[in-house]
Chains A and B, each alone.
Chain A
Amino acid sequence: MLAASVLSDSALEHYRGGFENPGMFAPLASAALALAGAARASRRPARPAPALPFGAACAVGAAGLGFHTYNLLRRPGGLSWGNLFYAAPLGAPVALSLAGLLGLAARELGRGAPTLARLPRRRALGLLTAAGLAGTSLEAALLHFRGAFHNPAMWLPVSLPPVAAALLAGAAAHPPEAAPRLTRLARACLNATAWLGVAGVALHARGVARQMGGWRNWSQNVLSGPPLPAPPSFSALALAGGAALELP
């Protein structure tokens, strides 16, 4: 789901950028491969999924972060608010790496590995998704700040997911039976965050409608309005967080 979100978002944004650099095709290809790998793994859970697409997504995401940082710093003003708002977004390539990491984690889990990155599986996956939620929320904060929080609903994705992330990190640190209330609370917040991702698409669609010409001028306004593919990344991470809590 995260890979799908990254694929469509990077397709839109890099299309908007006119694919000025051939490297701008890489995240599309990589996210598509990761998506295919995930689809295959979910269709045939018995067979081990290949690691390559997910590893590649991690690598392309890391390279993308380098490119995006270079793009930001070489502009006049350097590390300024204007460039953070409008230069290549730093959070987007990180999301691709995150999708890759989640794919690798899922693969390890599918193989029945007892630990992930030498941590208990529940804790490792919980911390990874909590960090992802917090990072995604940070990106939403930056972009909603750029939009001057003109709609009060724009505060939701910067307040709810961090709470869910904190609860998830806390709950994942213990076995489920050790903190049942915390786990229940974390699960409830993660569910709400998952729905927030759905509601976010509807709100972003309304944001597109508020552009000049509204949906009648969709071909332009889908590009210039709030990005439709962005909010589902919250759903994806919330579901992964929920999955972490299912682990013993």
Chain B
Amino acid sequence: MARRPRTGGGRAPDVFARGGWVPMREYPDSDEVDFAIVGAGAGGATLACKLAEAGFSVVVLEAGPFWRPLEDFASDEEAQQELYWLEERLTGGLDPIALGGNNSGWGVGGSTVHFSMISLRFRPEWFRARSLLGYGVDWPIGYDELAPYYEEAERALAISGPLRYPWGPPHRRYPYREHEMNAAGLVLARGAERMGVAWSPVPLATVSAPRGKSPPCVYRGFCNFGCSTNAKQSALVVWIPRALRAGAEVRDLAMAGRIELDAAGLASGVHYRRDEEWRFQRARNVVVAGYAIETPRLLLNSACARFPQGLANSSGLVGTHLTTHAGPGVWARFDEEIRWNKGPPNMAVCEHWNYADEGKDFDGGYAFMSQGPLPRAWAQLVATSQNLWGMALREAMLDYNHMSGLVAVAETEPRIQNRVTLAAKRDRHGLPVARVDFAYSDNDRRMQEHARRFMGRMLEAAGGRDLWSSEDTSHILGTCRMGASPDSSVVDADGRSWDVRNLWICDGSLFPTCGGVNPSLTIQALACRIGERIRRLSARGEL
């Protein structure tokens, strides 16, 4: 079905009402706005809110639609596939990453519309991974600089979390209390207690009590799709309404194709396609927030005479050092009924191997969580991992309510050969599509093997039988890394391009290393920090 833009005519969809609208300020293309932001996900939406609230004029260009959760998010796994970025991309390398469902969002709110709401902070040492832990690369900022913004993001998202999180430095209590643990989470808890390692309820971005127009979570279990009740605190329901109230404009179904440079070598605006028509938005600053594939793709697509290798790419690093989180999983059958589809899919976590450095045969770390796949996703995993089909698959599915499992979020090494490049093939807009090459290092493989063994022992300790394992990947990060010098990074600690000083990046592609936890909270904390830095730089006349 062809979609039509929903925003425009002075209004944007009201995310809290069926068919509702909220007023929205609009800017003509010819107006030179302070910031044109490409992408309305965890990075773009958060930054749009922060900049609009600081008084800047902001236009957000989002390739996907502006969803209304109450009417668009059906309780139907098949129908909800439309939330993913499913435009054509090429994948390659020894371990090609499956793109789409697990890692790319499409629409206002980006991947936060279908993320599993896990909101964990990075281990402080990871910001100096090379100096303190001896692998990867140091970030240009430390944990202490980011901590206030972690807290800002946690308050904005009203994270429901435990009173005491067993890992990391102490911080202010999560604004909302933890959710009731589901049976799948209790399996992890039981196993962890029998093995003598710590476990914790997962801090989740879905509210455990009413908040504004968000009702508390009803534990329907469709969290890896759009939350039709608005309990999920996605960028769509948290940052976007705030940004609109503060005067930002969001243009949905607006695909950015190229960033234009002026004669002085500064960005002058963005060419984008909306309603079958190419348009040009003038801007004093351009922010790219398209996540780890579309961000380097747009920069590479914007190559010009002055920057023939692509924008912000004098270091040659744009698109390189792609990392993902490896997701080895272990699954077991339990005698008792688990019914793991109840509640948010990941309710209990063990971060033991993110914080323990003794007894590892690998660099880096991993966390793992209890799981709750819905039947279609489970059937797909069983079919592809176990090679079951027909009657055998049907019989395996009969065990659905008795299954439980653990899946890791395992750090991979940033390596230059894992990268995003442009393919010769063009998409429906006439733009070269991205090619994504990826291969695990030996270290990555050792870590996954370690995770599989450890998780298997935990499932057995909890009473699981007939164990088997699977492979997967999730978040993609690190293709436009931030750093301390122009030779070794694409942008500085503020997300500002070393080459084009009014071009910024604000998304997961900034991550020099990917850590062993889900990145959305860190992306939003970084965006809060970048917003604050821009406000200060502007006040000092250094923008």
Interface of A with B (CB < 8 Å)? 75-77, 81-82, 85-86, 145-148, 150-151, 207, 210-212, 224
Interface SS of chain B: loop
A150 in complex: contacting residue of B162, B192, B199, B209, CB < 8 Å: B209
Minimum distance in angstroms from B377 CB to a CB of chain A: 23
10 extra interface residue pairs, beta carbon distance < 8 Å, beyond A76-B199, A151-B210? A76-B190, A85-B177, A85-B180, A145-B177, A147-B177, A147-B209, A148-B208, A150-B209, A212-B215, A212-B216
Minimum distance in angstroms from B340 CB to a CB of chain A: 16
The 7 closest A-B pairs by CB, nearest first: A76-B189, A86-B180, A210-B210, A147-B209, A212-B215, A212-B229, A148-B176
Minimum distance in angstroms from A83 CB to a CB of chain B: 9
Contact indicator A82/B215 (Cβ below 8 Å): no
0 or 1 for each of B199-237: is its CB under 8 Å from A? (1 = yes)? 101000000111100011010000000000101000000
Number of A-B contacts (CB under 8 A): 55
B74 an interface residue at 8 Å Cβ cutoff? no
B215 in complex: contacting residue of A76, A81, A146, A211, CB < 8 Å: A211
**A151→B189 CA distance, assembly (Å):** 32
Contact indicator B162/A82 (Cβ below 8 Å): yes
**A207→B209 CA distance, assembly (Å):** 9
B175 an interface residue at 8 Å Cβ cutoff? yes
Contact indicator A212/B201 (Cβ below 8 Å): no
Given A75-B186, A85-B180, A150-B210; A224-B218 close (CB under 8 Å)? yes
**A202→B229 CA distance, assembly (Å):** 24
Contact indicator B215/A77 (Cβ below 8 Å): no
Given A75-B186, A82-B201, A147-B209; A210-B177 close (CB under 8 Å)? no
**A128→B512 CA distance, assembly (Å):** 64
Minimum distance in angstroms from A203 CB to a CB of chain B: 12
Given A147-B209, A210-B215, A211-B216; A77-B175 close (CB under 8 Å)? no
Contact indicator B178/A76 (Cβ below 8 Å): no
12 A-B pairs with CB atoms under 8 Å apart are: A76-B186, A81-B163, A81-B178, A145-B177, A146-B177, A147-B209, A150-B176, A210-B216, A211-B215, A212-B215, A212-B218, A224-B218
Q: Which residue of B lies closest to A81 (CB)?
A: B163
**A151→B216 CA distance, assembly (Å):** 14
B181 an interface residue at 8 Å Cβ cutoff? yes
B178 in complex: contacting residue of A85, A151, A207, A212, CB < 8 Å: A85
B399 an interface residue at 8 Å Cβ cutoff? no
Minimum distance in angstroms from B200 CB to a CB of chain A: 9
Q: Which residue of B lies closest to A154 (CB)?
A: B209
Minimum distance in angstroms from A219 CB to a CB of chain B: 13
